[in-house]
Amino acid sequence: MHKFCEYYFVCTSPWTYLGHQRFVAMAEKYQIEVRVKPMNLGQIFPASGGLPLAKRATQRQTYRLFELERWRQWIGLPLNIHPKYFPADDRLAARCVIAANESLGSKAALALAGAMLKAVWADEANIADEQDVRQVIEKLSMNADELLTGASTDAAHARYEANTQEALQAQVFGAPWYIFEAIPYWGQDRLDFLERAFAASQQA
């Protein structure tokens, strides 16, 4: 039976960045289709009681830095704890990922999402800036003009809003968020459990 995993994320989340490569590799290993769903976390937080980083208690902000350092060392990914362009408006980047998904397929969309995340957390790029987004796309040898044009369409805007509404309906409250066989998994630190579910699904 065909299996799929819904992947809700934002292109500015360090936790999405830390888990992205591993998640993509897992999906490929177990031949799980990934349904790529960049969403607007700014709409998710108010509906779920979440707060943007700047509004969280000092204790939470401080502990977050320890966790980022801990996971950066454990996973071995380059990550700037205090990136130059964070927080950033990731809506253009998200719609470019949507455009890639529509025109090139999920594999290309996942590659572009990973590149956008790396741009923020490792390369000090501003994904709210069209020129920086263009450079990210071109580094993957994708057609930047086509994807930027696609990102500006009503269809891309509508898909982005639909992803967000679907996330709300699925009771998503953070990123990354994975849903497999109707079971939610929040955070890259749940990937071990998700992989077990992927593996178990192969036995069914």
pLDDT tens digit sequence for 120-172 = 999 999 999 999 999 999 999 999 999 999 999 999 999 999 999 999 999 99
Phi-psi bin for 74: left (phi > 0), alpha (psi -120 to 50), beta?
Answer: alpha
Q: Is 5 helix (H, G, I), strand (E, B) or coil?
A: strand
pLDDT band of 204, cuts 50, 70, 90: low
Find the length of the chain: 204
Contact (CB, 8 A) for 17 and 118: yes
C-alpha–C-alpha distance, residues 80 and 19, integer Å? 15
C-alpha 175, offset from chain centre: 7
Task: Note if the bond before 52 is cis, omega within 30 degrees.
Answer: no
pLDDT of 101: 99
pTM of the model: 0.96
Mean of all residue pLDDT scores within the chain: 97
In this structure, are residues 189 and 176 in contact, taking their beta carbons and an 8 Å threshold? Answer: no
Closest-CA residue to 12 (of 54, 31, 40, 35): 40
Q: How high is the pLDDT of residue 1?
A: 62
Listed residue (196, 166, 189) closest to 6, CA to CA:
166
Q: Encode pLDDT of 98-118 as tens digits.
A: 999 999 999 999 999 999 999
Q: Within 10 Å of residue 101's Cβ, how many Cβ atoms?
A: 24
- The pLDDT value recorded for residue 203 is 84
- Domains of the chain as residue ranges with CATH: 4-203 (3.40.30.10)
